């Protein structure tokens, strides 16, 4: 198969429109790329960056219940793909606004994870919710502020988000917010259990 | 202009090959995308992630003199675009190997920068060089280990790299390595002077 649809890839050359796209190692490169045999254009595909926030209001954390796939119906922190021309902090702020109509002030970087099996990198920032009047955006069914005790642990959409919430409450309990960086892997293709390799500094 | 060549973008629909690509806001979206008027495919373009290392051997830092544009002839830390399926630490390790035949052990995340005017995000890791026998790879003219005093400050290729080296030696002098996260902006379109908005924690 020439492409992995989940991670991008092309049927036709986006430069010249030819269907003559091969998957091979271009001269001087070390890995296979989609290369146009007519014009020589290489269709690079790269990992995507997800920016998100941990918005907090009076010790409570803002979560959004997803209206869209993947994981529709489950809870997550506001986060989404970084756009061209944006900083990660701007992306995190925009996602809180789009998903929860939440006005947040972005603070320190809190977590940076690689999720290689889906070719994504997550950057999550601590954030101060400036106004408690939040409301679901188009991609959320519901938004709400949760105390630590009320977090719906069994209904969290993504391992990266559950792990971040765990670390956040652990740090808060210890009285010091660390920075967490590392990888979230899958046990195997058959077993989707998440494996966390995270350094907390 | 339909596309910004520097940041990707298409002339032809990569899904169906049609030339009927418009730049407009798709239904349910908030920003203009390249959309195929024949098949409806949206050609998303996202920021790219750069992973790099600060390889150290006996207090000296490994730098590479670039053989390729941009900034050919100038010095930089080994770093490059993250590939599909890679973690950032793996990308940083691979780049050190490709650019300097350097065998490194990746340590803590050291810096995370957004560079929005070129739609890139840099992640730089502290790293231990495991063997001092380094040699230029295809993309380097020369590689060398520099003590703090010998760093060629006037010939550093990128503002992100110069800033990282400054912070690194500052932290080393203070006896504690912090984590640095923030933005590297350009003063204006006319004035390329770098503006650093970085939090060090």
Structural domains for chain A: 1-45 (2.20.70.10), 48-200 (3.90.79.10)
Closest CA–CA distance from residue B125 to any residue of chain A (Å): 10
Q: Please check whether residue B111 is in contact with residue B200, taking contact to mean a CB–CB distance below 8 angstroms.
A: no
What confidence score (pLDDT) does residue B55 get? Answer: 98
- Strand B104-115, strand B180-186: pairing: parallel
Residue A184 in contact with partner chain B when CB distance is under 8 A: no
Residue bearing tokens 């790269």: A46
The complex's ipTM works out to: 0.92
Q: Please check whether residue A97 is in contact with residue A135, taking contact to mean a CB–CB distance below 8 angstroms.
A: no
- As averages over each run of 10 residues, the pLDDT of chain A (201 residues) reads 57 93 90 93 94 97 96 97 96 98 98 96 98 95 98 96 97 97 93 94 91
Cis peptide before B70 (omega within 30 of 0): yes
State percent of chain B over pLDDT 90: 89
**Residue A151, C-beta contacts closer than 8 angstroms, at least 6 positions apart:** A61, A63, A165, A169
Residue bearing tokens 């209206």: A67
Torsion angles phi and psi, residue A20, rounded to 5:
-80, 60
Residue from A122, A121, A126 nearest A108 by CA? A126
DSSP code for A82 = P
Mean pLDDT of chain B: 94
Residue of B80, B87, B177 to mutate when probing chain A, most A C-beta within 10 A: B87
Question: Rounded CA gap, B26 and B42, in Å?
Answer: 8
What confidence score (pLDDT) does residue A8 get? Answer: 66
- Helix (H), strand (E) at residue B122: strand B120-129
Report pTM: 0.93
**Which residue in A has a C-alpha nearest to residue B98's C-alpha?**
A30
What confidence score (pLDDT) does residue A171 get? Answer: 98
Cis peptide before B53 (omega within 30 of 0): no
Q: Please check whether residue B72 is in contact with residue B49, taking contact to mean a CB–CB distance below 8 angstroms.
A: no
What confidence score (pLDDT) does residue B200 get? Answer: 95
pLDDT band at B68 (very low <50, low <70, confident <90, very high): very high
Residue A120 in contact with partner chain B when CB distance is under 8 A: no
Residue from A56, A11, A87 nearest A168 by CA? A56
């Amino acid at each position: 198969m020439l492409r992995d649809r989940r991670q991008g890839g092309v049927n036709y050359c986006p430069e010249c429109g030819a269907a003559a796209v091969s998957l091979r190692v271009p001269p001087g490169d070390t890995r296979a790329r989609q290369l146009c045999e007519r014009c020589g254009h290489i269709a690079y595909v790269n990992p995507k960056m997800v920016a998100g926030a941990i918005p907090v209001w009076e010790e409570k954390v803002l979560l959004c219940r997803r209206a869209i796939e993947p994981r529709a119906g489950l809870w997550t922190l506001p986060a989404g793909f970084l756009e061209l021309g944006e900083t990660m902090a701007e992306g995190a702020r925009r996602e809180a606004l789009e998903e929860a109509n939440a006005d947040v002030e972005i603070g320190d970087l809190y977590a940076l994870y690689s999720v290689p099996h889906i070719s994504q990198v997550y950057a999550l920032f601590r954030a101060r919710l400036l106004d408690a009047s939040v409301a679901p955006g188009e991609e959320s069914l519901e938004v709400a502020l949760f105390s630590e005790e009320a977090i719906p642990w069994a209904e969290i959409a993504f391992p990266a988000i559950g792990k971040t919430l765990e670390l956040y409450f652990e740090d808060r309990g210890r009285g010091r917010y660390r920075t967490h960086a590392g990888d979230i892997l899958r046990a195997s293709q058959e077993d989707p259990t998440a494996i966390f390799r995270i350094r907390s500094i």
